[in-house]
A and B are shown apart, each in its own frame.
Chain A
Amino acid sequence: MRMAHEIVESADGLDRLYLVAIPNGGVPLGRILVENLESLTGVHVPLGILDTTLYRDDLAIRGSRPQLRRTEMPSSVDDRVVVLVEDVVSTGRTIRAGMDALMDFGRPSHVRVVALIDRGHRELPIKIDYVGKNIPTQYDDKVILHVEVADADEAMIENEAGGEPQAKVGELRIVVRTGQAGRPPESPHREPAETREAGA
């Protein structure tokens, strides 16, 4: 919800805003943001899904080819303020691929990036405009996100298990609560609890 506020503040007109989620991790976050933006402003911001696999810079050096994900861009990006939505940003290479992919769809007026987690280790000159939480990590760590969407008035991010100090995998439990109080948690348009891994 805080991130939604920040997006609204800097958007300079909501009619030009367009969220574009990078699968898989960006998609549930994108849906939550669309919902939050709608409850904040009453405006339904379009949500696109943009797979960056075909734009990766490491295809030539990998043995096998990664699986492709869905791309769905419901409206034109021309003259829009496009906000790329990603769950975890680290090296910045996926965001670079996302920007290149975006340019194949047209000419946005601005491109911004929102991420739930910024874990550092940037290898490219890319900054995150709206960040949920900075999590310092080791380069080899994996950040495992448990995103739950429950029912409450405000968005909230909780850092639960930091993981044992010796553990290779730092585990982070993020509970994002959205929506209005009093709504039943099983309300059909709510996101189901999502548990997924975000790559390094």
Chain B
Amino acid sequence: MIGRDILGIEDLSREDIETILETAERMQEIGTREVKKVPTLRGRTLINLFFEPSTRTQTSFEIAGKRLAADVVNFSVADSSVSKRESLLDTAKTLDAMDPDVVVVRHKVAGVPHRLAEVLKAPVINAGDGAHEHPSQALLDMLTVREQKGQIEGLTVTIIGDIAHSRVARSNIYGFTKLGAEVRVAGPPTMLPAQIESLGVKAFTNLRDAIEGADVVMALRIQTERLEGACFPSVREYAATFGLDRAKLRFAKEDAIVMHPGPVNRGVELAHELADNRPSVILDQVRNGVALRMALLYQVAGRGGH
């Protein structure tokens, strides 16, 4: 049974993940209606608490809440550098006094949603914490793969990029391995954590080997502004070695799909031609994100607030 909070894929069982995906598959139908709203969370309040800007995830949660008829409040906090811990708990107390039914949290420090979950009466959904987890992104990725491939068990999923600093990679590794896929990760050695294979994945520094026979190829966003000079010599060299284009994709299965959590650095981790066309399913991921977040809100909002 799904717990009160959704903090990470690591905490979810295979059964929990499947329940969430099945719920999301039902929610997709609501998005095809003319009136895209059901009364399920009428009178409930969702607070989007974003300490780190994220237009996409925040908008997706906002639309999801509104389609379930919840009142959605966006609470964006510019991170103050002074005494983070104190200000965080102050914020939490302030929020609690407003009696929300669910709080969606993003923070650049890993573990903040967990800390808030201990303090708040309302259930907490992690919308990304540092380099730790981004559960709703991984779940929408799994939903998209299931939609495209029919099932996840037995597939080969290759994730390319900065595996060491990516919460999307970590959540997807937990999720896809729990559902029985073979997960491979690829990137320059500086971007592959030393113990990564202990998570049940295979690590590659050669892109061709990593892609060979894959059903799903997922390129991660390279944080060019943060990492240049730190993990690889230049953006251009990364693009040449690990950037995905049609030529490199030929090593994957013929019907392989290409995924990306967005926003895409065109010409860096993904070539233009792949960003816009099949086999890329990037816009399906965005569409599925709303249905998946509706499923999460349906499962937790209003629970445990008593």
Contacts and interface: CB of A to CB of B under 8 A. Distances in A.
11 contacts: A54-B30, A55-B38, A59-B40, A64-B1, A67-B19, A68-B27, A68-B298, A71-B26, A71-B29, A101-B38, A104-B37
B135 interface: no
A69 B302 CA distance: 21
B38 A51 contact: no
A45 B298 CA distance: 34
B33 A54 contact: no
Q: Name A's interface SS.
A: loop
Contacts of A110: none
A65 B22 contact: no
A60 B302 contact: yes
B29 A54 contact: no
The 9 closest A-B CB pairs, nearest first, are A68-B26, A54-B38, A54-B40, A71-B29, A104-B35, A65-B299, A68-B23, A65-B298, A55-B39
Q: Give the interface centre of A54, A55, A70, A71 by most chain B CB atoms within 10 Å.
A: A54
B303 A63 contact: yes
Contacts of A55: 38-40
Given A67-B22, A68-B26, A71-B29, A104 B38 contact: yes
Interface of A: 51, 54-55, 59-60, 63-65, 67-72, 100-101, 104-106
Contacts of A101: 38
Contacts of B34: 105-106
Nearest to B24: A68
Q: Give the interface centre of A60, A64, A72 by most chain B CB atoms within 10 Å.
A: A60
A69 B26 contact: yes
Contact of B26 (A51, A63, A104, A106): A51
Contacts of B303: 63, 65
Contacts of A70: 26, 29
A69 B25 CA distance: 10
